[in-house]
Amino acid sequence: MALPKRNDEELPVEDKLRCLIYALLSDLFLQPPDMKMLQRLRGLSHDESAMGRATGRLARCAGNVTPEQVGDEYDALFGDDGALDPCASAYLKGRTGPSSANCLPALMTRLGIEQRPVAERAPDHAGTLFEMMAGLIEGRFGCDRLAVLEQRRIFNDHVMIWMPFFLRDVGVAKEADFYRAVADLAATFLDIEEAGFQLV
């Protein structure tokens, strides 16, 4: 395992931004946004970069929905009888080894991450994984920040192994409207993360 960074060092600006995006995606996949969150999303800055276009689409979508509408969409997509299962186990059936969804609880224990009750959210839920990535960059869980090489390993083994397929399914789901823009933002960000990790 790569040595962690010390938490008393100043977090670089680019890592702060990564944490913010991971945390935003976590919030949006763990529960539908309320009015306060929709108002925040409407104010997202945008430009002609890939991320800028994605944030612009999300801001426009946030301006066209009410909390009730997006709540109904969330339930139709990710609820108990929803069209999609937002968990790694649904996409990694039969897979064994370090990338299997079954390995996540042990990984979280090793890293010192307190797990949510399974009845609340499964450890391999998309929102939980985004939350985990933010916390490991920031050192939020009581453990040291992870060095970039360890972040890359977890990203490859537990995020990119299935998340792009899930986000693709959200993007083409007939129930998706607001969450199509969320999936687009997530996919764009993960592509940038992957490219950055390849430079390490």
Q: How far apart are CA 8 and CA 10, in angstroms?
A: 7
Q: Give pLDDT, residue 112.
A: 77
pTM exceeding 0.75:
yes
pLDDT score recorded for residue 5: 43
Number of other CB atoms surrounding residue 70 within 10 Å: 23
Cα 123 from chain centroid (whole Å): 13
Q: State the average pLDDT over residues 87-95.
A: 87
How large is the average pLDDT for residues 46-56?
A: 95
Q: What is the mean pLDDT of residues 80-84?
A: 96
User: Among 92-106, 155-169, 181-195, which stretch is predicted with the lowest mean pLDDT?
Assistant: 92-106
| Architecture field, domain 13-198 | Orthogonal Bundle (1.10)
Contact 144, 4 (CB under 8 A): yes
Question: What's the CA gap between 28 and 156, in Å, rounded?
Answer: 22
